Amino acid sequence: QKEVEQDPGPLSVPEGAIVSLNCTYSNSAFQYFMWYRQYSRKGPELLMYTYSSGNKEDGRFTAQVDKSSKYISLFIRDSQPSDSATYLCAMSDLHGSSNTGKLIFGQGTTLQVKP
């Protein structure tokens, strides 16, 4: 079983829709949670970063972490065609045995926002 599970999609929505992207994980030691956006042939771009449980909002983006359920979400409001990309969740356990802070990634969800 993978440490982080993410539905690869693809997910297709009309412009203006609210998009919900999700990941589940198995390691209860994860404390730092990140969402990256990756356009084709580009590197992952950090969108949101959350420590522990709770919500964080940045413009049209909201990240939620529910540690009790081992479930994280990214919501995109008023989605735009320019949001079409692959969205990757990633998480780390800074205080693990190696103290390396390496990121464990989900497989990524491909999102297409149609005009």
Partner 1 sequence: EAGVTQFPSHSVIEKGQTVTLRCDPISGHDNLYWYRRVMGKEIKFLLHFVKESKQDESGMPNNRFLAERTGGTYSTLKVQPAELEDSGVYFCASSQVPGTEAFFGQGTRLTVV
* CA atoms of 74 and 36, how far apart (whole Å): 10
For partner 1, the binding residues in 62-91 under the rule CB under 8 A are 88, 90
| Interface stretch with partner 1, choices 11-19, 41-49, 59-67, 68-76 (CB under 8 A) | 41-49
Q: Point out which span in 11-19, 44-52, 63-71, 75-83 binds partner 1 (CB under 8 A).
A: 44-52
Nearer residue to partner 1 within complex by CB, 43 or 115: 43
Measured from the CB atom, is 15 or 26 closer to partner 1?
Answer: 26
Concatenate the DSSP letters of all residues of 59-94 into one string.
Answer: TTEEEEEETTTTEEEEEESS--GGG-EEEEEEEE-T
The answer to whether 42 contacts partner 1 (rule: CB under 8 A) is yes
Separation CA 91–CA 79 (nearest Å): 24
